[in-house]
Amino acid sequence: MLNENVKYIIFDIGGVLLKPTTGNWFITPYINNLLKNKIDMEKFKLSLKNNYDLVNEINLQTEKEEYSMFYNYYKKSLEDINYKETSEELLSKISKSITYDNNRYTLYNDVKETLETLSKQYKLVILSDNFPSIKRILKNMDIDKYFKPIIISTFYGYRKKDKILFNILKNNIQYKKGTAIFIDDNENNLDIAKEYELISIKMDRNKNKKSKYPIINNLTDIFTIIKN
């Protein structure tokens, strides 16, 4: 039984707390409207996927650095589909949107109320591979107040897969075995979490995955997990 022992609930962000508004993490509503009548969007999405190695979730300390990283990412992705009208102005518009637009992500409907309830009994933490802008976005969504600490890969120079980020987590909250739940939608991250004696829970909002870990399909399911 988890109930009386659990003191911490640690959350990933993407796929757990929020989703891309357009369904694609790297196409904001603005970018979609800007390009949808100019290029084959499916080819563009594939090019974005193929150039993902240019996306840097570590060692970016500012949103200005994030903007520059995305500028190069979109430049290469558009070049690879032979888009002839690429310009500095266009790339600037795209990069500003992906870096600074608050509406690039949408909060799942069950998040705010659930966090409000959980925060009264548990210490809530974020552990996420993400960019500098996510801290502003969480603040604008009015949910940053529920989490302490908020551990984002880019500020530490490591991703979750590097495991060191889990060391940083443990040093921050000093949890003991059986006292901390970790919720992520990535099975590999859950495997590492288990190594670090976290109770791994798989978030599957699409309800189409199998897992060796307990599965929740929405955030409110966590109450059942805790009580059983």
Amino acid at 8: Y
Reported as a pLDDT band with limits 50, 70 and 90, residue 1 is very low
Other C-beta atoms lying within 10 Å of the C-beta of residue 5: 13
b/e 59-69 (16+ beta carbons within 10 angstroms → b): ebeeeebbbeb
Q: List pLDDT tens digits, range 22-76.
A: 999 999 999 999 999 999 999 999 999 999 999 988 889 999 999 999 999 999 9
**Cβ atoms within 10 A of the Cβ of 162, count?**
15
**217 SS3 class:** coil
Helix 88-100 and helix 63-79: axis angle, to 10°? 130
Residue 176's region, left for phi above 0, alpha for psi from -120 to 50, else beta, is beta
Specify the pTM: 0.94
| Helix spans in the chain (H) | 29-35, 41-50, 63-79, 88-100, 111-118, 133-140, 153-156, 164-173, 187-195, 222-227
